[in-house]
Amino acid sequence: MKNEKDLTKKQSQKLAQVKEVSPSLKTMHELKEKIRQIFDETNDWLDGLFKLGTWLSEAQNYLGVALLERRLVRFREVSEE
């Protein structure tokens, strides 16, 4: 999925339509954009850690504990390879 800032005008319009029709997809897209922004714009590791913790809380509230835990386990497995 493209970063929102990289979408063409037509793609931005389509995204707006999708967000109107599906609040769930809207929230997931917003979470994706927030985590991208954390990694793109944070230079200080402590600030990044705080922002990542905040993002995880938001994601957990939306996705639920079980799904988030599965994702985190997979992330740990991949990062250890």
Would you list the domain boundaries of the chain?
A: 7-80
Tens digits of per-residue pLDDT, 4-24? Answer: 889 999 999 999 999 999 888
Count of alpha carbons within 13 angstroms of residue 56, beta-carbon side = 11
pTM for the whole structure: 0.68
66 vs 35, residue with greater confidence = 35
Q: What is the CA radius of gyration of the chain?
A: 15
How far is CA 44 from its chain centroid?
19
